[in-house]
Amino acid sequence: MPLILLAGYPSSGKTYRSQQLIEYLNQKIASSDDAKVKRLKVQHIDNQSVGLSRDVYAAAKPEKDARATFSSAIKRSLNRDTIVIADGMNYIKGFRYQLYCEAKAVQTPNCVLHVGTPVDRCRELNDAALQAGTGGYEPEVFENLVFRFEEPNGMSRWDAPLFTIPYDDAEPPGEAIWEAMVGSDGKAKVVRPNAATVLKPASEQNYLYELDKATSDVISSISVWQQDHPGEGGGEVAIPNAEQKVTLPATAPSLPQLQRLRRQFIGLNRQHTLSKSRILDLFMDYLNDNFQR
């Protein structure tokens, strides 16, 4: 069943909105006459439920380990009878992309609920929680998380469908989320996995070599195209051994930007085995989605 991913600034009220959504979904399930809907359950996963504290965001290594713990808990919970609400920071688009792949691999839909609390209000709430001793992030950690927050974009497949709830709204858009994730007929929407998102444990020899080489070949092809078309914005780059093309944005990406996206992609797919053709397809999809932003 669906994965509902919350995203927002620290202290934006994600857990409060999660509880509102849980209450709405449970009411929908309880009031339904459909046996398939009746057997659904809602599972809320947050840092506390998986044993993580706010301190993990103070350093890169514990934060990385915390994301792995959070992701594993979500992956274990995804099944046909559970609506999973992932209530975490989820502020890195690469991490949201990873969870999108996990949901698609088990053929379940996902969406993102962006808690749109303004940063100044989040800062006030965070300071008040710190002073009251009821939670909150240390000021330096809070500011760092705000700086690194990558706002969800409904044009990116991993952030779509995207629902935003402004701070002043009384309730999250429960009906719209139910319709998009479960459907008015109570039948969960089925997502068909494709070659680019069916993830399997790594087992092939030389897989990391192929992952490194295939992604490097794509970056090289883009760099050659840019050298042949100096100062030209946009354009489609043909990649050897791939049917689709990379569509460049109007403002040409620099080589450091391309290499950063390559490193992110390799980090996301290091533990999975994909044939070289699938690596190309998935990496080109990843680049095209990022270039749309």
| 172, 6 Cβ separation under 8 angstroms | no
Per-residue confidence (pLDDT) for residue 85, from 0 to 100: 97
Tens digits of residue pLDDT in 56-99: 999 988 998 898 899 989 999 998 889 999 998 899 888 898 89
Report, as an integer, the average pLDDT of 232-236: 79
Per-residue confidence (pLDDT) for residue 241, from 0 to 100: 81
Tens digits of residue pLDDT in 238-254: 988 887 888 888 888 88
For domain 3-181, the CATH superfamily is: P-loop containing nucleotide triphosphate hydrolases (3.40.50.300)
pLDDT band for position 113 (cuts 50, 70, 90): very high
Residue 198 has pLDDT above 50, yes or no: no
Q: What's the gap between Cα 128 and its chain centre?
A: 29
Tens digits of residue pLDDT in 22-52: 999 999 999 999 888 999 999 999 988 999 8
For the chain, the domains span: 3-181, 207-291
Residue of 190, 191, 224, 204 lying closest to 269 (CA atoms): 204
CB atoms inside a 10 Å sphere around CB 15: 18
Per-residue confidence (pLDDT) for residue 293, from 0 to 100: 60
